[in-house]
Structures are given as structure tokens and as C-alpha cells.
Amino acid sequence: MTASLVYMGWRVYAEGGANVLYTNEGRLAGKLLRLRKKHKYKVSTKEVYDFMKDELVPYLGNTWIIRFELVRVPRGFYSALGNTKEKLDLSEEYGLLVENARFDQIEDIRPSRKTDLTYGSLEIRKLQHGTTSVFLEFKPKWLVQSPNAPASAKCCRTCAHRAMTNRPKGFCPLDLGSGDPYRVRRAVKALLGNAVNNNEIPLEDIVTTYFLETNLLQSLRRLQALDTRGILNYHESKDLDKNFFLAMSSRDCTLFLEIFDQNVGGNTPVSVNGTYYWVKAKLADLDLKNPKKRSQWAAVEANLQPWYNNVQFSSVSTGCQMV
């Protein structure tokens, strides 16, 4: 713990089911303060920090994971947050300072254009010095089939769950993580949808090439594959092991990709038809899950069983590309 928190100038940046993110434009610009909300299945900030530092970083390294730092919440700090403190767990002694994946040292000079994708979002920004960037946010989901899926399954876990919950079809995660050029491109195309036709950067080509030339998705697949038993074969919460928690954290993570048409430093070059673009990738939401949710997870998986196999919900209706 090296940073100290100032009391003034905080405003809500974003809010999720378990956390509120705050931003401060002072000396902590480029970082977000993540504080835990009151939640039935809470995992403390210190537990999340230790899990990420001691378990996830050894597997994924520091390249992909957003930078994070444990900070102590000083006495009286919550009162400085105004009415938003009512949602927070005021017993928490710590917060996380995390890298803001959207922050750039080169400022926006024109309003950004944001497009909601079926399973993500895309934002086009005009930056200083004539630089254009495209910011893509989405969840890769289950890149490896559920260990509890029947051998005869016609749908992957993610596509079966979309069908069961009556959600729109989208990219198939098994395609995305396959490493096969045709299948990866098919998934990227499904992810981007019509947005791919609305910008001056060849986004489909860049994202496809990046996923094929880096080991980002393969690293996530290896984490997910650590769970060889599946939730239906863990009968008590105390039986859940480290491999299960590592797999679960990577099944629900968020991936941020930012593509630049100029080299602004520190990013991965990608060549498309002889033209270079530069890509920054970061993973977030790699939280430790609460073992008390075991019965809830098991119930979902049990309900999914007929949806894996029903011909009615095969690739025609879900977009699943299971082979």
C-alpha cells in the first residue's frame, strides 16, 4: 500500500452489482477507486486483492491484468462520498485503486461516438495529434465448454445459457478461443455486428489478427480449463478448490481493447494489409467468487442440461458454433 486517499473531489464513475467505482481528477487521474457495496455474497477487498496478486498474476502475468493496488480507507472517508455511501459496505477497511483502462495521456479533442453491441460496447475517439482510437469492451465468457455439459451437447455453455434466458444470439466463445483463423474471425464479426461498417479503422481485421498473434485468449482458456470437475461435482461449498475459483474468475472477466491508428507508445503492433495499428489489451473483473454461491451455480448448471442438447436451440437459433 503506497497511495493515500484524498478526501475531496470524488465522483461516481460507474456502478456494478458488487462495487462502485469513483474517479478523482487530481493526482490520482488515470486510476479508479473501487469500493465494495453491501452484498449478500460479499468477498472482502483484501481477499480479492490477495487472490489476484497471489493466484491470478502467477498465471496471467502483469501484461494483461489492469494494474491494481490495495489502499486503506481512512477514518471519515466514507462521509466525504455523500449519498452514494449508503450503498457501500462501511465496514470495509480497504479499497482497490485500479487502472482506468479508458484513460489516455493524450486527451480527447472531439466528442466520442459510442455504439452498444449485443454483448459489449464500442467507442470511437478522436485524440490529439490526429490520432483515432477505437475502444472495445466485452466479456469473452466461457472459452472452454462446461465440464458438466453432456458429451452429446450441441451448444456450448454460453450459447445454451443465452437460449435458456431468452437472450439474443451472439458470438460463440468456443469460436473466439479456438485459435483457428476462420472461426476467430467469425466470432469477431458476430461480436462487432454492424459497428464494423461504421468506422474508418478495419476493426474486424485488427481484432482477429491480434487474437491470433497473441496468447491472451489462450491464457484465459488455460485458466478456465483448470476446472475439470464442474460445479455439479462439488457437493459442498467447502469442497470448492483453487482451480475452480481460478476458472470462475476468468469466465466472467471483462476485456478492454483499445486500437490506435498511430503509435502512442507501449502497445502491441498489428499489421493489416501493410498498415500498422497498435493495440492495448487489459482484463478486469477477475474477482474471487464467494463459495456460498455454490448451490446457486449448481442450480443454473442443472437447469442448463436440456438446453445443451435440444436440437431446437442448436446453431441456427443461438449462434453457437460448437464443433
Could you write out the DSSP letters of every residue in 219-249?
A: HHHHHHTT--S-GGG--SGGG--HHHHHHHH
pLDDT score at 292: 94
* Mean pLDDT for the stretch of residues 272-283: 95
pLDDT score at 314: 52
With a cut of 80, say whether residue 323 has pLDDT above it.
no
How remote is the C-alpha of 76 from its chain's centroid?
32
Mind listing the domains of the chain with CATH numbers?
10-99 (3.30.200.110), 110-313 (no CATH)
Q: Given pLDDT bands bounded at 50, 70 and 90, which one contains residue 84?
A: confident
Sign of the C-alpha dihedral computed for residues 93, 296, 286 and 58 taken in this order: positive
With a cut of 80, say whether residue 115 has pLDDT above it.
no
In terms of average pLDDT, the best of 115-124, 134-143, 194-203 is 134-143
pLDDT score at 25: 78
Sheet holding 68-72, edge to edge: 11-15, 19-23, 31-36, 94-99, 68-72
**pLDDT tens for each residue of 145-154:** 999 999 999 9
Cα–Cα nearest to 21, from 254, 321, 295: 254
**pLDDT tens for each residue of 178-202:** 999 999 999 999 999 877 665 678 9
pLDDT score at 312: 63
* Mean pLDDT for the stretch of residues 296-318: 81
pLDDT score at 197: 60
Q: For the whole model, what pTM was predicted? A: 0.91
With a cut of 90, say whether residue 112 has pLDDT above it.
no
DSSP symbols for 254-277: EEEEEEESS--SSSEEEEETTEEE
pLDDT score at 104: 59
Name the grid cell of 172.
Answer: 460463440
**Residue 244 burial (CB count, 10 A):** 23
Q: Given pLDDT bands bounded at 50, 70 and 90, which one contains residue 108?
A: low
In terms of average pLDDT, the best of 5-19, 153-167, 216-230 is 216-230
| All residues at 6 or more sequence positions from 293 whose CB lies less than 8 Å from its CB, including other chains | 41
| Higher per-residue confidence, 294 vs 322 | 294
| Higher per-residue confidence, 300 vs 5 | 300
What average pLDDT does the structure give for the chain?
A: 89
Q: Given pLDDT bands bounded at 50, 70 and 90, which one contains residue 273?
A: very high
pLDDT score at 210: 98
